[in-house]
Amino acid sequence: MASTGRTLIKGGRVIDPSLGLDRVADVAIEDSKVVGVDSGVDLEHAEVVDATGKIVCPGFIDLHTHLREPGFEYKETIATGTAAAARGGFTTVCAMPNTSPVMDSRSIVDFVLTKAAEEGVVRVLPIGAVTKGSKGKELAEMGELAEVGAIGFSDDGHPVSDDNIMRQALGYASSLGLPIINHAEVASLSSGGVMNEGWVATRLGLKGIPNSAEEIMVARDIELARLTGGRVHIAHASTAGTIELVRRAKEHGFSVTCEVTPHHLTLPDETVMGHLSANGPFDILTETAYDSNAKVAPPLRSGEDVEAMVEALKEGVIDFIATDHAPHGTVDKQTTFEDAANGISNLETALGSVMSLVHADSVPLPVLVDKLTASPAGFLGRSDLGTLRAGSTADVTIIDPDTEWVVEPSEFASKGKNTPLVGATLRGRVVATVFGGRVVYLE
């Protein structure tokens, strides 16, 4: 950033769904605010960034990030997690509460916010726990968490299984104007399962998790949202049945939203067979089979479910893309598939993954940008984020849509190197991220 505090991003294709904007233009920034978007802008004494041939859009917003701190700093810290976010084009990340101790009190939220202010390079918004210790027995002090800045409540990783607790949570959160973000999973159906129920699980001799384990919980949550008038948000939707339930709920006007992850949009359960098997028949086992980096909750689903996710994203049934960035230490993943932890470290690969849908003409680029910017900002009720409107916070992401790069986890800023995409060639990459008018990542 120039000493004048002025930056001019020139000649890029500016896509801003919040403004209905998609054309070549310049973006002018002064101090921490967007001055305006127009053609041929002349901002005196500004640092000029040539964005010719690039995509310029509002900074990405991730509603589902595991930063791990406090308690699991060997997996990730707020410093490393936000650095990874910046590399991935994200200027806002919402931190899930499954830390140790759990983010169920004012003091823990204060700690996270203070740490983010001191060591983070992008904005961190906290998500409070639904129940104390995320144990599902007693509601957390949700009013207190809202006062200190929680943008919603979740026990992610632990479904809110008790029907009455979920009903109470939705009712109370409704009075605060905030959503309950639930990990939809019926434990009695998924118990012992480690991947999607289907032919791949059978071939590998692994116990599967049926789609119904997710869909039954989604149906319950929708009905409780109808009953209470509360807002329920379905985290990491993964099945075609979930999409149909959400579609019908929206048609009836219920306060139901859902997200999808990059991996549930692009990776089928065959990925567990090992990425090298993509060069031949999927049912041929190689040394790359039982890839624990492809173990995630909910599990990677069938190709038909993946296709349903893509269609629902285009239709608007799915509200936005969220990474569910879940970094782990080496010991968590380099073990048997049954014992391995669930999760993928994907802040830095999210864009490259979903750009494959654009290059395959499956999803228009403006739709993809909307699902990473304006739509999550709308969910947060933040008119100052996810936009390049004059006077808004200068959060900007610059993308080269065509550059190809090979995923090398050793080069990640994140401590989590756990990705099934190791060695994969992706097309599309973030080249610069601007947060609050300051360049926080430059390729």
Residue-wise pLDDT for 61-91, tens only, equals: 999 999 999 999 999 999 999 999 999 999 9
- Assess if residue 52 is contained within a domain: no
What pLDDT sits at residue 45? 81
- Assess if residue 392 is contained within a domain: no
- Assess if residue 400 is contained within a domain: no
- Assess if residue 443 is contained within a domain: no
> What is the domain count for the chain?
1
16 is a catalytic site residue: no
For every one of its 443 residues, what pLDDT tens digit does the chain have, with 9 covering 90 and above? 444 689 999 999 999 999 999 999 999 999 899 999 998 777 888 889 999 999 999 999 999 999 999 999 999 999 999 999 999 999 999 999 999 999 999 999 999 999 999 999 999 999 999 999 999 999 999 999 999 999 999 999 899 999 999 999 999 999 999 999 999 999 999 999 999 999 999 999 999 999 999 999 999 999 999 999 999 999 999 999 999 999 999 999 999 999 999 999 999 999 999 864 444 555 667 788 999 999 999 999 999 999 999 999 999 999 999 999 999 999 999 999 999 999 999 999 999 999 999 999 999 999 999 999 999 999 999 999 999 999 999 999 999 999 999 999 999 999 999 999 999 999 999 999 999 999 999 98
- Assess if residue 54 is contained within a domain: no
The alpha carbon dihedral of 277, 279, 282, 285 has a sign of: negative
Tokens read off for 147: 């006062």
* Residue of 305, 324, 370, 395 marked active site: 324
- Assess if residue 244 is contained within a domain: yes
List phi, psi (to 5°) of 256: -130, 130
Please give the order of strands across the beta sheet that includes 232-234: 153-154, 180-182, 232-234, 256-260, 320-321
Tokens read off for 228: 């209470």
Q: Distance between CA atoms of 32 and 129, rounded to whole angstroms?
A: 32
Q: Distance between CA atoms of 102 and 428, rounded to whole angstroms?
A: 36
- Assess if residue 1 is contained within a domain: no
Task: Name the residue range of residue 119's domain.
Answer: 59-382+406-422
**360 closest CA partner among 324, 314, 393, 298:** 314
- pLDDT tens, residue by residue, 279-315: 455 566 778 899 999 999 999 999 999 999 999 999 9
Model-wide pTM > 0.85: yes
Beta-carbon contacts of 9 under 8 Å, excluding residues fewer than 6 positions away, are 26, 27, 28, 29, 49, 51, 56, 396, 398
What pLDDT sits at residue 283? 63
- Assess if residue 38 is contained within a domain: no
CATH number at residue 361: 3.20.20.140
Residue with tokens 């995320």: 134
Distance of CA 290 to the CA centre of its chain: 25
